[in-house]
Structure formats: structure tokens, C-alpha cells
């Protein structure tokens, strides 16, 4: 025989109950010997409790009761529950008159959920030519009188079950789960997971071949799939592993359900009523491979803290705490304390926390007077995440990932076996923490959640590069890049599951007005982990949000140079905040687009290398301009117009020609050497004639020929075989607080490194004490949206690797 149990969602109206009948029919007509155990249908138990409380408070319950009856009768052609509804009506009216109800009455009222469910199913089965029999478990399972959580009397219950089934094996017996009775026939209930417990007891007493538990999920997962989208189904578990999961809060399992199965070595299979193709999770006595099995969460718990300096060196405090808990029938799921016992934290069920507090305050009353105990407090805003199978030796990876995401556990607890770890965390953070740990311990693709600010030439190119490369990167590196926000200066498009290739239209049609704080809040509300904010704007205002982003778990990547060239005070403040919050800030594209310049300078400086000078062509636009002008017999205005037409310059070319951009890049490199220069200390040669430096862009573009005489003269006055280059140079005693920063137009030999530059390439010469007059040269494409976007992409992958 197999015991088949169906949960409340499986038995709900519509598809659920139809699937249940179909499942039973398949087994029945295949001549399988089965007994069915049922829970209350849908939300019947909760609805009956609500009716009870309304009756107790003398609130009219007729409308709710009518809705309850309507749901229970749906799909039937006749009222088969008249007696049950009348009995319920009288019970509720009695509670209303008394204004109160006992646990005994509550058990009797909620028992009707299972009674109605079993009778409903029997009626449908008989209509479908399946011979079925209603079985009231109160006639079989006898218990003590601990109403609400009764304990079965095995000797009586076992005999009742064996005798009954010996005489009633010719039909499909449909048994009410959850409910039972005392030897005086007073209705009791079996507590949490009671219907599964009923099925487990029947399996034990009848030596069943298998217990099949049909639910609304495909089996047991590595985490609750409602909370972790990447959760994976576990195919097999041992009883020991299942028992650990049950003890630490797995919703489908409960420890008392497993024990009767272990005793008779009866397999338990968790199946999905709504997915007949799925094989579920099989739980047997066979030990599976060691390793982390699952994450479970407890949210209906509270932390009680006992604090006192006077407890230092005082023994027996924990014994007194446990005595109080035992006297009040309170189970402690976690205890954590220092060796000095100056602080002790215990985790209990939230509905027992106040009772525990009162008991502890009474127990330690004298200790308050002697000031050995300073404070006993309750924290209800907690959750417990347990990692089943986690070895403490390897836990550092999960812990580091939590800290990196600004989640600090309140307490840590390791079991005696050393194979399970529980963390007490703030309830507001438990979903995010669960996803962080799951991604870390189960080796699934680590999700990197990205907010992109600015989708112009560079930003738009970057978005396309990410979308095109996502699947390849996930397959190769185990990293899933998830762009959850794309924003311009006015609107933002948000999607926690990721924004797709139609982002431009979606932003235009569905984008909403926003503040940066709204995006931070969105990430919090949706528990997004491994956050990166990317600044592809040229906005000075946006830079002011860097600090709040870092304080709220975002790492930063920027192609915007302003943050690194703002005041030195802000520069230092930002780095202080980044350090305090253990956040990274990458900006390789600030100088040299995609060239590995900043990283090289950082490494040289950190290694103790004495950098004596940095010189180079910093601007790809100006590199193209002077490379072409020097090598061709053309007027300066013609070359400048060509650069404008090709999109090499900013919309207002004066932003390139004034030299400020080169000055900012030079300042960024200086600050990498810990120099304290400000931007106004950079000497910059403006390439624009003074009369054209101000005014409208259109006027400027109509007067480009005014450049010709000036630059023809400069070009013609050069030495032979020399060319013009616009360079930035950092020099002076770079071991001091400040260096000499200069941006200028120079003439250099055409066979030199600077002179041989072509196209729009950039080149950087790094002079050091070790290399002497032979500089380290870094050269390559220093401009262009694709190159810059690829450089930002590189920073994303670099950051992502650090999160592995």
C-alpha cells in the first residue's frame, strides 16, 4: 500500500481538485493499493480561525460564513454538508454569546476544514466510478488532551488503524488529516504539519511501501523558490538530511513527520500535483553525497538578548535561562553567548517571546538590583537563515559575500556536528541575504545587478554590449549580468528581472520620473544583491550621489571624470566612504579609454616604484587633429571640420580644444600618485583663439578659418622633421604633496614615440626610477564610444570577478 497525501492548495477549487481526482484515478485504475490523506481545502483553516475570532469579538460573521460555504460547495450539484454547516453555525453562535473560546473549541471548529475536504473528495471520486470511503481520523488516532498540539497514543492508535484497514480495504479510504481525538472522543489537532503527520503515522502502522506527499511545488529545493529564483530541485535526500531541513524550518517537512517513516524505513516522495511529469524529491535511508543541501528560513521568530557586565565570570546563567524556557514550554532554536557570558542571545518563536521575557525578568530580578544584569530585551525584527550541510571551514566565502553586500549577521550559531550554520539577521535583509548565500554556496551563476546612468553614445553602446554578451559570459564565467535600471537625466526604466534589447522604446514609453534615492529604494525593496552603479554621464550633479550609492551597497564604475577631478576634499571623502562600506570604485576609462593605464600606474605606485614623470597625448580627438594636420598639406580648419563631421569631437568642439579634458585626465593620474593638486593648479594652453572662446556654437563653427593663420605659423616655425602634438605632462618632485601639471602644444621629432603616433591613438610615457630614461609606453585607441564602452565593460567584469 502507498499513502497518498494532498495539501490544501492541491485540493483547492478549479485545476487543483481536478488534478487530485485525475491522480487518484490513474492509481486506482492501475490497481495500485492506496490510502488518501487530505488537508483542508484552499484556505479553509485560516477562514475558520477568522470566523472564530469575529464571533469572539461579537463581529457579524454571517457574510464571511456564507462565502466559506459557497467555496466549499463549488462544483457540487447538491448540499452534502448541511449537517456540518449547521454544527459550525451553532458553535460560532455559542462563541459569540460567550465572547471567548477555548483551545478545545478551536480544535473542534477548525476540524471541519478536513472533514469537509475528505467528504468533498469522496463525493467526486464516487461520481467518477472510483469506490471511495470517508474516514474520520478521530475514530482512529487517539491522543492526549493537549489541544492544538496533541500527542498520539501509539498503542491505541496503531490498533485502531490496523483493525479498521483490515476490514475496509475494498475501497479508496480518504482520511481526514490533522485531526484526532482523546479517548473521551474530544476533538484534538496534531499541530503544525498535522496532515503530513497523520499520513506518516498511517504509513508506519500499515507498513506502507511509500508515502507520497503531493504539494504545489516540484519537491524540496535548495531554497524557497518563491524567495530565490535560482533555487534548484533536490532529487534525493537521506532521512538525516531531511530531518535537519525540517528542524531548521523547511516548510514542506517537519521533524515529527519524518520519525515514523525512519522507524519503518518507508520512503517519502515529495511531488507536485500540478506537474505530473516531475519525479519530485525522494527521501530514503540511503545517505547521499555530503555537501550543502539547502537553505531554510525562519521569520516568525524573535531574539531575546540578556546583557550584563556583572555576568563576567559568573557560571550557570545559561542553565537558569533554559530552566525558565522549560517551565514555560518554550523551545529555544538558537543560543549564542560569549565565553564570559556578558551577553547571551536566544531565538524563540515570536508568539512565545513575551512569555519568555516575563519569565526571564522574574528569574533575574535580584540580578537587576545588584546590576549584574543591565537589560533583557526582545528584537522581533529578525529572521534566521540556516545553511544545511555547511562546513564552518568553508563558511568564510558566504560570510564575506554577505559583508560585501552590507549585510552583517547579528548572531552566528554552529551545530555540534559542525555541518549546519544558522545566522540571525535583520528581517528586512533576509531575502537579499538568502540570495547572496545561495549564489555563493550552490555554484549557480552569480547575479550582478547593474544600474546604468546615462545612455548616450558610450552608455548606449555599453548596454548593447552587455545584452549581446550576457549568455556567453554566464556560460564562461558563471556570472549573470542583470541590468535592472537604465536612467537618463529625467526618466528611469526599472525591471528587477533584467531589461532587454527593446530598452530604448521601453524607456521612452514606460520610463518614470525619478530621483537616485528611488533607485536605491527599488534595489532594497526587491532585495537585489551585488549592486553596481555605472555613471556614463558628464554630469557634475550626479557625482554628488556617489557617496549615498556607496553607503547603500553599490560598487561604482564611471567613465565620468568629474568625481576624480573635483575638490581634493571630496576626492578623499569619497574614498573614505568607499573604504568604510567596503565598496569598489573603478574608472579605468577616465584616462586612455580602454587602455590599461590607471591600473598600471596604481600597481607601480603600490609596489613602491618611484614614478618620476608621466607624459603623453591624452586626447584621441586632439591626437587625430594634430596627427593629420602635421602630416598633410591642409589647413587646420579643414582638418578640424573633418573631425567634427566624423563625430570625433564634442557637439561643441571648444570642449576638446580648450584643453580642460586633458587637464582633468592629467589630474586623475596625479592623484593616483597621492598628489594633492587641485584642477585650478593645472597649467592649460587653450588652443582656441581668444575671440572665439565664448559665444554660440553656431557662431564658432562659422569662424573656423580664424584658426588657419595661427596654426600655419606654428607648423612652419618647427624644426625640420618635427610634428605637433598636444600633450599633458606631470613632472617635478612627485614624492612631495604636489607636482607640476602642464597641458601644452609641443613640437617633437617625427621619429620619436610621440611623433610616430597615428590616427586617433593615445600614447602615455611613464618614467620611473627603475627604468631610467627608458619609459614604460602604453599606446592604443584612446577614443571612441565602442572603445570606452568596452573599457567600462572590462571594469564590470573586473568587479564581478572580485565578487566570486
The greatest distance separating any two alpha carbons of the chain, rounded to the nearest whole angstrom, comes to 117
- Other C-beta atoms closer than 10 Å to the C-beta of 410 total 17
Instruction: Check: CB of residue 245 under 8 Å from CB of residue 223.
Output: no
Q: Are 450 and 481 in contact (CB under 8 A)?
A: yes
Distance of CA 239 to the CA centre of its chain: 30
C-alpha dist (Å) from residue 516 to 212, 585, 613: 51, 18, 40
Residue 106, strand partner residues: none
Cross-strand pairs, 179: 189
Return the CA Rg of the chain. Answer: 36
State the SS3 of 555-597. EEEECCCHHHHCCHHHHHHHHHHHHHCCCCEECHHHCCCCCCH
Strand partners, 486: 452, 493
Q: 688-695 long-range contacts, Cβ below 8 Å, gap at least 24?
A: 688/654, 688/657, 688/658, 692/654, 693/654, 693/658
Nearest to 466 by CA among 480, 445, 447: 480
- Distance from C-alpha of 220 to C-alpha of 234, rounded to nearest angstrom: 6
Strands annotated E in 604-647? 611-617
Distance CA 354, CA 372 (A): 22
Taking alpha carbons only, the member of 259, 364, 265 closest to residue 317 is: 364
Q: Is 214 helix (H, G, I), strand (E, B) or coil?
A: strand
Kindly tell me the number of DSSP H helices and DSSP E strands found in the chain. 29, 32
Number of neighbours of residue 658 by Cβ within 10 angstroms = 18
Return the C-alpha cell found at 348: 524563540
Q: Grid coordinates in use for 758? A: 597615428
Give the residue carrying C-alpha cell 515529527: 256
Catalytic site residues?
665
Cα(500)–Cα(51) distance, integer angstroms = 47
Amino acid at each position: 500500500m502507498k499513502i497518498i497525501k494532498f495539501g490544501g492548495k492541491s485540493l483547492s477549487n478549479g485545476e487543483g481538485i481536478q488534478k487530485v481526482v485525475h491522480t487518484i484515478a490513474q492509481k486506482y485504475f492501475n490497481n495500485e493499493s492506496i490510502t488518501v490523506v487530505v488537508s483542508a481545502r484552499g484556505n479553509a483553516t485560516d477562514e475558520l480561525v477568522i470566523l472564530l475570532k469575529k464571533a469572539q469579538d461579537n463581529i457579524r460573521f454571517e457574510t464571511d460564513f456564507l462565502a466559506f460555504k459557497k467555496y466549499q460547495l463549488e462544483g457540487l450539484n447538491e448540499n452534502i454538508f448541511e449537517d456540518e454547516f449547521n454544527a459550525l453555525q451553532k458553535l460560532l453562535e455559542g462563541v459569540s454569546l460567550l465572547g471567548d473560546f477555548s483551545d478545545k473549541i478551536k480544535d473542534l471548529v477548525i476540524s471541519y476544514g478536513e472533514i469537509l475536504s475528505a467528504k468533498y473528495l469522496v463525493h467526486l471520486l464516487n461520481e467518477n466510478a472510483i469506490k471511495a470511503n470517508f474516514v474520520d481520523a478521530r475514530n482512529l488516532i487517539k491522543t492526549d488532551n493537549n489541544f492544538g498540539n496533541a500527542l498520539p497514543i501509539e498503542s491505541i492508535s496503531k490498533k485502531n488503524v490496523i483493525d479498521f484497514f483490515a476490514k475496509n480495504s475494498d475501497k479508496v479510504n480518504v482520511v481526514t488529516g490533522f485531526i484526532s481525538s482523546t479517548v473521551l472522543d474530544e476533538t484534538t489537532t496534531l499541530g503544525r504539519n498535522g496532515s503530513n503527520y497523520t499520513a506518516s503515522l498511517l504509513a508506519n502502522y500499515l507498513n506502507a511501501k511509500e508515502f507520497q506527499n503531493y504539494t504545489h511545488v516540484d519537491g524540496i529545493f535548495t531554497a524557497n523558490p518563491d524567495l530565490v529564483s535560482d533555487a534548484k530541485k533536490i532529487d534525493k535526500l537521506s532521512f538525516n538530511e531531511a530531518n535537519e531541513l525540517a528542524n531548521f524550518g523547511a516548510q514542506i517537512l517537519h521533524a515529527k513527520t519524518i520519525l515514523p517513516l525512519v522507524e519503518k524505513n518507508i520512503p517519502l516522495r515529495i511531488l507536485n500535483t500540478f506537474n505530473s511529469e516531475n519525479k519530485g524529491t525522494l527521501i530514503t535511508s540511503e545517505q547521499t553525497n555530503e555537501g550543502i543541501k539547502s537553505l531554510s528560513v525562519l521569520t516568525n521568530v524573535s531574539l531575546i538578548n540578556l546583557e550584563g557586565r556583572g555576568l563576567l565570570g559568573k557560571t550557570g546563567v545559561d542553565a537558569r535561562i533554559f530552566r525558565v524556557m522549560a517551565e514555560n514550554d518554550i523551545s529555544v532554536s538558537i543560543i549564542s553567548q560569549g565565553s564570559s557570558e556578558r551577553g547571551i542571545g536566544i531565538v524563540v518563536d515570536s508568539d512565545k517571546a513575551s512569555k519568555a521575557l516575563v519569565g526571564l525578568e522574574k528569574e533575574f530580578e535580584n540580578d537587576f538590583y545588584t546590576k549584574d544584569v543591565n537589560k533583557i530585551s526582545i528584537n522581533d525584527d529578525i529572521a534566521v537563515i540556516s545553511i544545511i550541510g555547511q562546513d564552518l571551514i568553508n563558511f568564510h566565502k558566504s560570510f564575506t559575500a554577505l559583508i560585501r553586500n552590507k549585510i552583517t549577521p547579528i548572531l552566528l550559531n554552529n551545530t555540534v556536528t559542525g555541518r549546519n550554520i544558522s545566522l540571525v539577521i535583520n528581517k528586512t535583509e533576509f531575502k537579499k541575504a538568502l540570495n547572496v548565500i545561495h549564489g555563493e554556496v550552490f555554484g549557480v551563476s552569480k547575479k550582478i545587478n547593474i544600474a546604468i546612468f546615462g545612455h548616450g553614445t558610450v552608455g548606449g553602446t555599453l548596454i548593447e554590449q552587455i545584452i549581446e554578451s550576457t549568455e556567453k559570459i554566464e556560460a564562461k564565467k558563471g556570472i549573470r549580468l542583470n541590468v535592472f535600471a537604465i536612467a537618463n537625466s529625467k526618466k528611469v526604466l526599472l525591471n528587477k528581472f533584467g531589461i532587454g534589447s527593446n530598452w530604448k522604446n521601453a524607456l521612452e514609453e514606460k520610463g518614470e520620473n525619478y530621483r537616485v534615492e528611488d533607485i536605491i529604494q527599488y534595489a532594497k525593496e526587491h532585495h537585489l544583491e551585488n549592486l553596481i552603479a555605472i555613471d556614463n554621464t558628464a554630469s557634475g550633479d550626479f557625482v554628488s550621489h556617489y557617496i549615498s550609492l556607496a553607503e547603500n551597497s553599490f560598487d561604482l564604475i564611471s567613465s565620468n571624470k568629474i568625481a576624480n577631478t573635483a575638490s581634493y576634499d571630496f576626492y578623499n571623502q569619497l574614498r573614505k566612504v568607499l573604504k568604510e562600506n567596503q565598496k569598489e570604485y573603478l574608472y579605468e576609462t577616465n584616462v586612455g579609454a580602454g587602455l590599461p593605464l590607471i591600473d598600471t600606474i596604481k600597481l607601480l605606485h603600490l609596489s613602491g616604484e618611484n614614478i618620476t614623470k608621466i607624459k603623453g597625448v591624452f586626447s584621441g580627438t586632439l591626437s587625430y587633429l594634430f596627427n593629420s594636420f602635421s602630416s598633410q598639406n591642409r589647413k587646420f580648419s579643414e582638418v578640424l571640420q573633418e573631425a567634427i563631421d566624423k563625430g570625433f569631437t564634442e557637439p561643441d568642439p571648444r570642449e576638446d580644444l580648450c584643453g580642460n579634458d586633458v587637464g582633468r585626465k592629467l589630474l586623475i593620474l596625479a592623484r593616483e600618485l597621492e598628489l594633492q593638486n587641485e584642477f585650478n593648479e593645472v597649467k592649460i594652453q587653450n588652443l582656441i583663439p581668444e575671440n572665439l572662446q565664448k559665444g554660440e556654437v553656431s557662431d564658432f563653427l562659422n569662424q573656423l578659418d580664424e584658426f588657419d593663420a595661427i596654426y600655419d605659423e606654428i607648423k612652419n616655425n618647427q624644426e625640420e622633421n618635427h610634428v605637433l602634438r598636444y600633450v599633458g605632462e606631470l613632472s617635478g618632485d612627485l614624492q612631495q604633496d604636489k607636482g607640476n601639471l602642464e597641458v601644452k602644444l609641443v613640437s617633437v621629432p617625427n621619429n620619436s614615440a610621440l611623433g610616430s603616433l597615428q590616427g586617433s591613438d593615445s600614447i602615455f610615457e611613464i618614467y620611473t626610477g627603475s627604468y631610467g630614461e627608458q619609459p614604460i609606453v602604453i599606446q592604443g585607441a584612446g577614443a571612441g564610444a565602442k572603445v570606452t564602452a568596452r573599457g567600462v565593460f572590462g571594469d564590470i567584469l573586473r568587479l564581478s570577478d572580485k565578487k566570486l
